[in-house]
Amino acid sequence: MLKTPLRLGIAGLGTVGGGVLQILAKHKDTLQSRAGRPLVTTAVCARDKNKDRGVDLSQMQWFDDPCALAQSEDIDVFVELIGGEDGVVRQAVEQALASGKHVVTANKALLAHHGTALARLAEANKVALNFEAAVAGGIPIIKTLRESLAGNEISRIYGILNGTCNYILTKMQREGRAFADVLKEAQQAGYAEADPTFDIGGHDTAHKLAILTSLAFGTEISFDSIYLEGIEKITPEDIQAADDLGYKIKLLGVALKTPSGIEQRVHPTMIPKHSAIAEVDGVTNCVAVDGDFIGDIMLVGPGAGAGPTASSVISDIVDIGRGMIRPPLNTKAEQLTPYRRARMRAHEGGYYIRLSVYDHVGAFAAIASRMAENGISLESIVQKRPPEALPGIDARGEIGAPTPVVMITHETTEAAVRAALESITADGHVENPPQMIRIERL
């Protein structure tokens, strides 16, 4: 065992940073044994020096500037827990790597936008860039991809990567409540931010998916290539229709390796009730991986929170203490292949489409015709006339009560579905814009 301590400089003492300090204090001896050397926090950086964080900071050097901390001669590891993709955070991480400091971060946005360049910088300076906490909180998916699945060629990786969205969809499914109502409750419970756009719009999931895609397939990170759709338009009617058809709705991040390239997408998805991922409810996250020798595996656990996320940060620090320095993105940066987006292909699971159709002569025939024009075959059509339906006036001034219609398509392309729905909307047969949700046969 080395007597020389591994000196840590922690930037950001919020929920996760405070959790890291608590673990370091509580499990000091155990961590020293596992890392093979003492782990000592020598310096910290945060906005408020006087805030009580439940840990004695009197023996630690205080920095107001994370960039100064990153270049300090008194640290070996720069632990970045501030967040944000650019500005002083990016500058601090780059300076730490350039000055020969190892970096541990929980910053998914930084990695999704600059991960490839940071990986090159880390390798050039022979230091670690570890980020287990950046994806799915306490779930050890980064180490799983880097280590446990090294003998596999991965064909698909997907999962529930945002607890806020999963909580909202779970509540809507169990209680039959509207999206806005459940979102407000999630904000009051602390599961959603005051401005929830980043979560419910799918951006948080997309950041994590971009990182996983690179690790799984050996490509440069390409966040901008992800098809992105959030959960804002999901209604109780969609939830009920999914239930009637034997599905649940989840926000999934999906990455596939195809002969023509990599497909990355984030969107609400109907998945069979009997599938394992359908049982992952509340704020819980999960990541599933399909490998040629391991088969299909799924990791489930807490995707956020002080304890789980701090636990992942500590695991990265312990690895550095052991002298374990790996290519950050699993493949050496110089060997990462440029990202190539997959060509449009048929979606095997088909699509769920919900229309509010004006009930007058010719409307349903016109809709069927538009589907046929685009080569779309329908597996089923369900029409449910609400008893309280009131007459409505369509785009041509004709009277007819809007009737909910649910259609399930056979395998087809998204381009075909979108073209058909655009024509149906233009024809004036529907009261509101159509709803479309992909179906995954997991």
Burial class (CB in 10 A: 0-12, 13-18, 19+), 325: middle
Rounded to whole angstroms, the Cα distance separating 27 from 75 reads 20
Instruction: State both tokens at 140.
Output: 């050890």
- The dihedral through the CA atoms of 311, 313, 316, 321 has a sign that is negative
pLDDT in tens, the chain (442 residues): 678 999 999 999 999 999 999 999 999 999 999 999 999 999 999 988 888 887 888 889 999 999 999 999 999 999 999 999 999 999 999 999 999 999 999 999 999 999 999 999 999 999 999 999 999 999 999 999 999 999 999 999 999 999 999 999 999 999 999 999 999 999 998 888 889 999 999 999 999 999 999 999 999 999 999 999 999 999 999 999 999 999 999 999 999 999 999 999 999 999 999 999 999 999 999 999 999 999 999 999 998 889 999 999 999 999 999 999 999 999 999 999 999 999 878 888 899 999 999 877 888 889 999 999 999 999 988 876 655 545 555 555 555 568 889 999 999 998 899 999 999 999 988 988 999 999 998 7
Contact 303, 106 (CB under 8 A): no
- The dihedral through the CA atoms of 124, 128, 134, 135 has a sign that is positive
Provide the pLDDT for residue 90.
98
As beta bridge partners, residue 352 has: 408, 437
Topology match between the domains 6-134 and 351-439: no
Number of other residues whose CB lies within 10 A of the CB of residue 210: 28
Q: What angle do CA 19, 22, 24 make, to 5 degrees?
A: 110
Residue matched to tokens 């008893």? 387
Rounded to whole angstroms, the Cα distance separating 259 from 268 reads 25
Provide the pLDDT for residue 385.
63
Rounded to whole angstroms, the Cα distance separating 105 from 92 reads 11
Select which of 108, 208, 248, 257 is catalytic.
208
Chain centre distance of CA 333: 23
Homologous superfamily, domain 351-439:
ACT domain (3.30.70.260)
Residue 28 annotated as catalytic: no
Q: Are strands 61-63 and 39-45 parallel, antiparallel or unpaired?
A: parallel
Rounded to whole angstroms, the Cα distance separating 238 from 406 reads 9
Rounded to whole angstroms, the Cα distance separating 134 from 145 reads 14
Number of other residues whose CB lies within 10 A of the CB of residue 271: 23
Provide the pLDDT for residue 12.
96
Q: What angle do CA 147, 150, 152 make, to 5 degrees?
A: 140
- Domain range summary for the chain, segments of one domain joined by +: 6-134, 141-302, 351-439
332 CB-side CA count, 13 A: 5
What are the residues whose beta carbons fall under 8 Å from the beta carbon of 18, sequence distance 6 or more?
A: 53, 54, 55, 306
Q: CA distances (Å), 278 to each of 64, 269, 272, 281, 343, in order?
A: 45, 11, 7, 7, 29
Q: What are phi and psi of 405, to 5 degrees?
A: -130, 130
What are the residues whose beta carbons fall under 8 Å from the beta carbon of 36, sequence distance 6 or more?
A: 1, 2, 321, 322, 323
Residue type, 140: P
Contact 143, 169 (CB under 8 A): no
Q: What are phi and psi of 264, to 5 degrees?
A: -125, 130
Instruction: State both tokens at 16.
Output: 């996760």
Class of domain 141-302: alpha beta
Provide the pLDDT for residue 398.
54
Rounded to whole angstroms, the Cα distance separating 262 from 264 reads 6
CATH match for 6-134 among 3.40.50.720, 3.40.50.150, 3.40.50.2000, 3.40.50.300: 3.40.50.720
